[in-house]
Amino acid sequence: MTHTINLTAQSRPEVMERVLRVVRHRGFALNSVEMNNCTTSNTLSIKLTVSGERPISNLENQLKKLYDVSQLELCQTQGMNESAVAMNA
Amino acid sequence: MTGAELVLKVLQQHGIKHIFGYPGGAIMPIYDALYDSDVQHFLCRHEQGAAFSAIGYARSTGTVGVCMATSGPGATNLVTGLADAMMDSVPVVAITGQVFSSLIGTDAFQEMDVLGMSLSITKHSFLVQSLDELADVLHQAFELAQSGRPGPVLVDIPKDIQIGSVDFEPYPIAQREFPTPSQDDIAQARDMIGAAQKPLFYVGGGVGAADAINEMQDLLEYTQIPAISTLKALGTVPTEYPYNLGFVGMHGNQAANLAVQECDLLICTGARFDDRVTGKLDTFAPHAKVIHLDIDPAEISKLRKADVSILANFKKLLPELKVAPHTPEWLARASGLIAEYAWRYDYPGEQIYAPRLLNQLSKTLPHDHVVSCDVGQHQMWVAQHMLFTSPRNHLSSGGAGTMGFGLPVAIGAQVARPDSVSVVVSGDGSFMMNVQELGTIKRFNLPVKIVLLDNQRLGMVKQWQELFFEERYSETNLSDNPDFVTLAKAFDIPALSIDKADQVDNALQTMINSDGPFLLHVQIDDKENVWPLVPPGKANDDMLEGNNT
């Protein structure tokens, strides 16, 4: 499954490393990344496209825990309905 | 004042009286400021020892532990301790010196990318970019370490920032904020508890981390719901609670493991469905609906789908769940399991049986004590056979399982709680991993009591080799251990060695009654294993049984 995530983060030099590390460690592959620096608000807008078989909610939750991440939105999931992303019950 | 002096000021503002560390070139300005400070520094003999002592300080008190190290190898030596704190949600602030800002990225002497190394083993980390942000970063570090799910935070401070001039401004300490739970969710949880026929509390370390031990105990007393405990929760459920089923998981009590397989409602309270608890995940608590209570949203439905989840401050949430279900058959079943699977200590022969020694130790210690342990067979025996009145009295490396944990953690606990008896239970493998901290014990004459269970093996690995690797004992023989009594005496620490069961009582009394530090070397049979055991990949009701159940 492929997922698109938009997030806003405080502009710190290591933010992108933090985000990409979490994506990798939590079992997702990075397909594409786009980053824009908003100097007036000192924030970064980051758009990620990732793929993986694990529940995307796990990745969302881990990214939201990053101290520098202020907003996160899961925009799109392709390959299967999001509702069908089953947890291990 | 200098940036270095500011660091000490901020520590004091956050109530820090004791820190653990090791100096070096890039952190010398902070150590110079420390020379005139009221903050007491405990010089450890290795930075890993400093990190673990900070963990012991934090876990035994529920406050923040602080450790310091220089750049490069000083910082890398902190890494294992910080990873341990991360896995077990321990509030630690680590301060590292860094080379001058202008030298970062030039491969200068002792220059390493500490921020980069910290990313996966801290809750957050900072490389201070300017003197202007130093105070704010330090305050954020303390707030972050303690807020939400606690964890380690690292602050890397370049030397030019330490020696620069800055004004100190008082900083208002922020009140901790908590999520507000939905009243609908609370009502649903209450309904589920009230309707359950076989409810079971699955108590984790989050209760102690939330300082909600009393609230948990009140809830158990009111509801009379049976309870199982994770390694980190031991001491939360009172030992005298009639439905305390004990330690759950791979080496848990059979009563706990069987009850969890039978329950119809599992109330997960600050636990995380760790694989050492669940065994084969899709067989864990197969008949149960799940209520998951936590402070960390990332734990909800991470491994086991929750039917109801509530994110909240446990101190306020737990009293709201006081519903007493009517489940006489289930309570009788729990009582029956507890009676049927009580530990036995009728071990034949003259040799020392470690589980019985630990149970005796537990009954011999004064009420105010804290036990730290290392990792391996002895760790599981401590969890099984020692009795605790608070999770702050049982310090064990849970998530990371770090050998070498025990001795420096016991040092931190002793510094934090000078009136408590601080005991470390170690194994001969683990003990040698941070044995240099005997020097710290002696330097500060800390009355830490050391029980060293020596089977001349890496016992837990050997046990798995015996059971799962056709008795191919690869690299687990430690029969060339040093003479531990002589080793202790080299640090001017009194020591005694015993190898017979009838020596145990007197030896424990001698150790506990000693004024200062003491090492009790206990020779045990290398054939003793930890039982019961849920084999890897098996369900929790598929236990191997041995001779101590």
**Tens digits of per-residue pLDDT, B281-301?**
999 999 999 999 999 999 999
Q: Which residues of B touch A87 (CB under 8 A)?
A: 301, 304-305
Can you give the pLDDT at residue B86?
A: 98
Residues 6+ apart with CB under 8 A from B94: B51, B54, B66, B67, B68, B69, B78, B82, B122, B152, B153, B154, B155
B460 is catalytic: yes
Q: What are phi and psi of B449, to 5 degrees?
A: -100, 130
Residues 6+ apart with CB under 8 A from B390: B208, B213, B235, B236
Can you give the pLDDT at residue B297?
A: 94
Q: How far apart are CA B493 and CA B504, in angstroms?
A: 20
Judged by CB atoms closer than 8 Å, whether chains meet at A87 and B304 is answered as yes
Can you give the pLDDT at residue B4?
A: 98
Gap from A66 CA to chain B (nearest CA, Å): 8
B12 is catalytic: no
**Secondary structure of chain B: what % helix, strand, coil (to 5)?**
40, 15, 40
Q: Which residues of B touch A14 (CB under 8 A)?
A: 115-116, 119, 127
> A28 lies in a domain?
yes
Can you give the pLDDT at residue B168?
A: 84
> A39 lies in a domain?
yes
In 3-state terms, what secondary structure has residue B494?
coil
The CATH number covering residue A23 comes to 3.30.70.260
Nearest chain B residue to A59 by CA distance is B298
User: Is B121 part of the contact surface with chain A (CB cutoff 8 Å)?
Assistant: no
Q: How far apart are CA B356 and CA B347, in angstroms?
A: 8
pLDDT in tens, B67-103: 999 999 999 999 999 999 999 999 999 999 999 999 9
| Model confidence band, residue A76 (pLDDT cutoffs 50, 70, 90) | confident
Gap from B146 CA to chain A (nearest CA, Å): 13
Instruction: Report chain A's mean pLDDT, rounded to a whole number.
Output: 89
Question: B372-393 in b/e burial notation, b at 16+ Cβ within 10 A?
Answer: bbbbbbbbbbbbbbbbbbebbb
> A43 lies in a domain?
yes
| Model confidence band, residue A78 (pLDDT cutoffs 50, 70, 90) | confident
- Give the structural domain span for A67: 2-80
User: Is A64 part of the contact surface with chain B (CB cutoff 8 Å)?
Assistant: yes
Global ipTM: 0.91
Residues 6+ apart with CB under 8 A from B460: B375, B376, B377, B380, B530
Given B87, B216, B386, B460, the catalytic residue = B460
Q: Which residues of A touch B282 (CB under 8 A)?
A: 88-89
Domain total of chain A? 1
Gap from A55 CA to chain B (nearest CA, Å): 9
Judged by CB atoms closer than 8 Å, whether chains meet at A64 and B297 is answered as yes
Closest by alpha carbon to B310, among B288, B289, B294, B290? Answer: B294
> A89 lies in a domain?
no
Can you give the pLDDT at residue B265?
A: 98
The partner residue sitting opposite B305, judged by closest CB among A14, A66, A87, is A87
Gap from A15 CA to chain B (nearest CA, Å): 10
> A52 lies in a domain?
yes
Domains of chain B: 3-163 (3.40.50.970), 183-340 (3.40.50.1220), 354-523 (3.40.50.970)
Residue whose tokens read 């020591």: B495
User: Is A62 part of the contact surface with chain B (CB cutoff 8 Å)?
Assistant: yes
User: Is B280 part of the contact surface with chain A (CB cutoff 8 Å)?
Assistant: no
Can you give the pLDDT at residue B291?
A: 98
Can you give the pLDDT at residue A88?
A: 36
Given B5, B47, B111, B528, the catalytic residue = B47
Judged by CB atoms closer than 8 Å, whether chains meet at B119 and A21 is answered as yes
Beta bridge partners of B199: B265
Chain A contact probe: residue of B120, B122, B300 with most A CBs at under 10 A: B120
> A27 lies in a domain?
yes
User: Is B301 part of the contact surface with chain A (CB cutoff 8 Å)?
Assistant: yes
Gap from B411 CA to chain A (nearest CA, Å): 32
> A46 lies in a domain?
yes
> A10 lies in a domain?
yes
The partner residue sitting opposite A67, judged by closest CB among B115, B120, B144, is B144
User: Is A88 part of the contact surface with chain B (CB cutoff 8 Å)?
Assistant: yes
Can you give the pLDDT at residue A83?
A: 41
Q: How far apart are CA B418 and CA B360, in angstroms?
A: 23
Can you give the pLDDT at residue A80?
A: 56
Whether residue A77 is predicted with pLDDT greater than 90 in this model: the reply is no
Judged by CB atoms closer than 8 Å, whether chains meet at B298 and A21 is answered as no
Nearest chain B residue to A68 by CA distance is B124
The partner residue sitting opposite A88, judged by closest CB among B116, B123, B303, is B303
Nearest chain B residue to A62 by CA distance is B298
Mark the ranges of chain B whose per-residue pLDDT is less than 50.
548-549
Q: How far apart are CA B21 and CA B54, in angstroms?
A: 9
Q: What is the mean pLDDT of residues A20-33?
A: 97
Half-sphere exposure for B509 (CA within 13 Å, toward CB): 5
Can you give the pLDDT at residue B46?
A: 98
Can you give the pLDDT at residue A89?
A: 32
B433 is catalytic: no
The share of chain A scoring above pLDDT 70, in percent, equals: 89
Given B110, B217, B224, B456, the catalytic residue = B110
